[in-house]
A and B are shown apart, each in its own frame.
Chain A
Amino acid sequence: MPSSAPFLSIVLTGRNDEYGVDFRTRFLRTLAFNTRELAHRGIPYEIVFVEWAPDPQRPLLVDLVVDTIAALRDTRSFRGIVVDRAYQDALSLNPRLEYLEFLAKNVGIRRAAGEYVLTTNCDVFLSRAVLDVLQQGCLEPRVLYRAVRHDLKIAADSSFVDWDLLEDPRNLEHPPRPLTPPLMGGGTGDFLLLDRASLHALGGFNEVYRVARIGIDHNFLVKVLSDGLTIRDIGGPVYHLNHLGSYRITRHVYKGREGAAPYGDIRWHSRGVIYANPPTWGLVNAPEGEENAHKSRLRFSWDAVPPLVDLRRVVLPVARTGAPYPGSFAEP
């Protein structure tokens, strides 16, 4: 790791086709808030934003970020990686899957330089308590930090986001789901903070099971425990900007026909079976061309694409003595 590496890399991913309804607005609003608060507290950070399979007819989000948020024009604070859309088609094992979100996150994780890497979503605000911990820098390696998630009401006016809006209980949906051991799941994809070395040793998120997007974050927790790491509550929440098209809102639409969901079938054994990613995880072999100081592109190459099927990499989690068994059988 270079000596100039920041303390924190925040890995985000998105698509420029308004995937998830009104994505651009939510993304820019959240990014502006989080980066302002990080800078205000003097926390050294970089944003690694992976723009997955962009629509060539639309402007790139990477360019939009640099144009909109002045603080991110500093090349140390922001890196955008644009991934050729051919990777989506080449990697997907489910024609219904519109977005291989966790493979996109792996692209960012693989290229993150920070001592600690936070993988989160583009509509998640960090809380004061979380920022306090980051500011104090008192994180431990081999500990995966999780945060409970508060959902902001859709009706809440989020055109201007400040602490008053986020911390007013009237703006929050039902109480957040508590994080319960051993897995501490619930809104998992919204906050996963781990030291970079451990995250790289784990090989990021599951790249073998490319049939679903849903449950991949939970599956990561099972792998974390199986590999002997600890999962801990960081001690503060994050705030999620609830929106139409979110999983929380749309999941009922696919009840009884789970296999047809655009995020994959939720009933897969994400709690019982883990993975050993190939050494090429995170599209490490993809040819990368730097377009400018903020933006690089991953061009398509079959060399970067793992095999369609690699069944030896589907493995069972290890039950560790003294610790609860990480996985459990779920009847389909």
Chain B
Amino acid sequence: MKGTLKRLGVVGPRHYHHLLDQLQKAEARHAKLIEELDRARASAKAYQSKLGEVEKALRTQQADAAHHLRRAEKLTAEVDRLRMESRQKLETVKRELTVAREALMAVDVKLDILEGAANVLDLRTRDVVARRSSVTESAV
């Protein structure tokens, strides 16, 4: 009897319940996998969107970097130009300082001469005046 029923595809209640349990488990697992797949899809989408943003940001950064590089090159050139200009100005100032010092030396020397002459003339004048006074006094 059992064999006949088996051949006809009829299962026993215990086996039936076992199969039913397995089916339910498979369905639950299927539902869980579907859910995970949906989550993974959503996550992938989110990553894709993030990637786009990052790519966009990278492009912006690259453009910025290129801009800054050009600016840095410009500034370096400007600094070089200013440095050269400063050097030239320094040389000019040095030359002018030398000329000024030379002129100052010459002025110093001339002042020494003028001061010396004034002192000598002062002594001579005092001498003349003293002599005149003594002559006047003796005449009186």
Contact = CB atoms under 8 A, between A and B. Distances in A.
B109 A308 contact: no
Interface in B84-140: 98, 101-102, 104-106, 108-110, 112-117, 119-121, 123
Given A309-B113, A309-B114, A314 B119 contact: no
B52 to A, nearest CB: 72
A313 B115 CA distance: 16
B108 A269 contact: yes
Interface residues of B, number: 19
Contacts, number: 62
A269 B112 CA distance: 10
A317 to B, nearest CB: 9
Contact of B117 (A93, A273, A316, A327): A93
Given A273-B106, A329-B101, A209 B121 contact: no
Contacts of A269: 105, 108-109
A318 B126 CA distance: 41
Nearest to B115: A211
Interface in A316-332: 316, 327, 329, 332
Nearest to B109: A273
B102 A316 contact: yes
B108 A94 contact: no
Contacts of A209: 109, 112-113
B102 A329 contact: yes
Nearest to B99: A316
A95 B109 contact: no
Interface band, chain A = 20 to 34
Contacts of B120: 92-95, 308
A204 B102 CA distance: 23
Closest 9 CB pairs of A and B: A93-B116, A272-B105, A269-B105, A329-B101, A211-B116, A308-B117, A273-B109, A309-B117, A211-B112
Contact of B119 (A94, A268, A272, A309): A94
A211 B113 contact: yes
Nearest to A310: B113
Contacts of A95: 119-120, 123
Contacts of A329: 98, 101-102, 104-105
Contact of B116 (A210, A272, A316, A332): A210
9 contacts: A93-B120, A95-B120, A211-B113, A211-B115, A268-B109, A273-B106, A308-B121, A311-B113, A329-B105
Contacts of A210: 113, 116
